[in-house]
Structure 1
């Protein structure tokens, strides 16, 4: 495994097609999925030379904590289907490397178990449909010891993920000939993830959309909160702000006006995101939305996810003003291939790329990055 993309090719061979398709796919025609990567290629570096870069450091501060690299692990649902205890191994690897990790609200492992295994993990919530259940879920996260709450706000309705239908994926995960055949022909996943999970922990199911752990389980299936969210508004954010004592982050903002509203409602940070291309197909890539959001965000930390695959991508986002970035799918694939050691290796690869690129750019610290080190649409051969 020499790059993050290598993990995807290996995971394609390791995982059943429905599960790999769920992770890899996006919405409708995958326009946003492709655009997220293409956006980084629209910027070229303009490095400085003959600079003493022997004192390089990737450390940065965020919400009162110093991290050792300017990237983290994005929230990804159902990670325990692709890797044994997938959410825990990702969170543990992030803690060991001192980078942030965000637990998904659609994790199949109780949020209490994850924070116990990896203190400092952030929790991402898909808000339930009524205030009482919102209050209860927020209180559950607080009592469990989470200090940073991430509200994902770009899911008023479920996306049109045709890819899931074509690959045979559904929630609940229904038995099918395709899934059975894929499991039998992928024995390392069958024995190392599915059967191991089943024997040690029972059938995986959603628990983190509810007020308490141990939510009702549908036999041989998973349970998820599909309550309507199309009525949720900034009033609900204000309610959560009054209740939540820690750092509050809004994920899924692309429009500058929403960044301004987040600031007005006392939000502590923003993650510019189009959900990895998994919601509104055709939504602008976060990298291209970043400058406008930064102008409206004031002094709030602005982060970014979607499309980051190389250390150069990390530095381009930071040069444009992001405080840090989050990476999703590659760390999921790394967990599927090598568990916690696989995730640690993936983190190490990306960290090494950031370090090399800092040296070649002519900088020692992340705060030396600025837009003047970039030119748009000026890559060799274009």
Structure 2
């Protein structure tokens, strides 16, 4: 038996202490699924004392998010040219963003069959199918889409570069993703020179990449398979976490993709992660109930972790280690390739 009356689930990253070991992962077009979605997510996260990562595919200007939720992180795929990237970094500095996350697992557009089947692509094309979806979903059409148009005008992809990108709805405009193909370790050298704050790489699944990132001066990595939406049969983050944590040296190791429960978070921490990011559940909460929905979802996950720590007999997250897991799981994680 252990006295667990003084449990503390706080975690420190890059000089800041957060109230829980999880944050909100970057998600694109959240303002399409929830009214002012990026603001609802970032404000709820800031008020709860956890980080939120603003996606470069967001529809609300990064300056507006930073004003309402200081401490928000920013995720980028990097613009094609160095001039555009430098301009984006200057926008981030001017708005006092501290942590920059570069996603490295999206060099090309994947074959997302569900999107093809549903006819979903951005910018949205005005057609009868889109009209039908709006008419048959009046709560969303009026409460989110029309409300946004009337109050703020047509949404644009605001944060992919140093200037405004494509509109959300357009008949003849195509978003250009080709610039992502250039990203390599030489590109990272340019980023490291431009960005003096904490730099994080998202999408690491190979210990060798973790070693290269450490040698390149990266401050942290997010072990991620992009929610399983990029390449089928990709290894799960939990399977490679121990190896990557061992190779990461002095970097901060984080994880995302598929985390839903408090026990999921604690498993990752036991296998070597220092922090976990959760995405879609918080987006669903924002779509359902805006700020209050996100705040409630954060409270639910926080309460689960608090209870799970007590049931495990620990008071601090630092007490987690592979010995807390069944040996079979630990062995399979270390043997994963």
TM-score bracket for the superposition, by shorter chain length: over 0.9
- Answering whether residue 114 of structure 2 is matched by residue 163 of structure 1, we say yes
Helix, strand or coil at the partner of 2:235: coil
- Higher mean displacement: 353-362 or 130-139: 130-139
Residues of 2 paired with 1:223 and 1:111: CA distance? 22
- The corresponding residue for 2:126 is 175
Structure 1 residue 142: Cα displacement: 1.5
2:19 to 68, 73, 83: 68
Q: Distance in 2 between matches of 1:59 and 1:160?
A: 39
CA distances 1:305-357 after superposition (whole Å, capped 9, x unpaired): 00100000000000111001000010000000000000000000000000000
Aligned counterparts of 2:169 and 2:218: Cα–Cα separation in 1:
40
Alignment of 1:353 onto 2:308: no
Structure 2: any 5+ residue segments left out of the alignment? 330-337
Listed as ranges, the matches of 1:212-227 within 5 Å are: 212=163, 214-215=164-165, 217=167, 220=170, 224-227=175-178
Kept in 1, the 8 Å contact 2:18–2:51? The answer is yes
Summarize the Cα distance change of 1:176–1:219 in structure 2 as closer, same or farther, 3 Å threshold.
closer
In the other structure, the counterpart of 1:236 is 187
Please give the secondary structure, in 1, of the residue aligned with 2:102.
Answer: strand
Alignment of 1:243-258 (within 5 A): 243-258=194-209
1:334-373 pair list within 5 angstroms: 334-373=285-324
Cα distance in 2, alignment partners of residues 77 and 168 from structure 1: 17
CA contact (8 A) 2:238 2:268 kept: yes
Q: Counterparts of 2:226 and 2:90 in 1: how far apart (Å)?
A: 25
**2:74 maps to which residue?**
123
The secondary structure found in structure 2 opposite 1:356 is helix
Residues 229 and 215 (structure 1), Cα distance of their counterparts in 2 relative to 1, 3 Å cut: closer
Compute the displacement of 1:238 (Å). 1.1
Cα deviation digits, residues 155-210 of structure 1 (max 9, x gap): 11111111111112111111233322222122111111000011111111102112
What CA deviation, in whole Å up to 9, does each residue of 1:116-150 have, x standing for no partner? 11000000001112222222222221122100000
- How far has the Cα of 1:233 moved from its partner? 0.9
Q: Which runs of 5+ in 1 are unaligned?
A: 1-49
Question: Aligned partners of 1:298 and 1:253: how far apart in 2?
Answer: 14
Q: What are the within-5 Å matches in structure 2 for residues 268-347 of structure 1?
A: 268-347=219-298
Aligned to 2:154: 203
Provide the TM-score with structure 1 as the length reference: 0.83
What secondary structure, in the 3-state scheme, does the structure 2 residue paired with 1:228 have?
helix
C-alpha distance 117-224 of structure 1, shift in aligned 2 (>3 A): farther
Instruction: Indicate how the Cα distance of structure 1 residues 290 and 216 shifts in structure 2: closer, same or farther if over 3 A, else same.
Output: closer
* Cα separation, 2, equivalents of 1:372 and 1:99: 28
Judged with a 3 Å threshold, the aligned counterparts in structure 2 of structure 1 residues 226 and 54 are, in CA distance, closer, same or farther, namely same
Report if aligned partners of 2:123, 2:169 keep a CA contact under 8 Å in 1. no
RMSD (Å), alpha carbons: 1.5
Distance in 2, matches of 1:203 and 1:266, equals 40
Normalising to structure 2: TM-score of the pair?
Answer: 0.94
Partner residue of 1:134 out of 77, 80, 85: 85
**Contact preservation (8 Å) 1:157, 1:228:** no
Deviations 1:273-319 (A, max 9, x none): 01111212211011111111111101211000001000000000001
SS of corresponding position for 1:230: helix
Report the 3-state secondary structure (helix = DSSP H, G, I; strand = E; otherwise coil) of the residue aligned with 1:229: helix
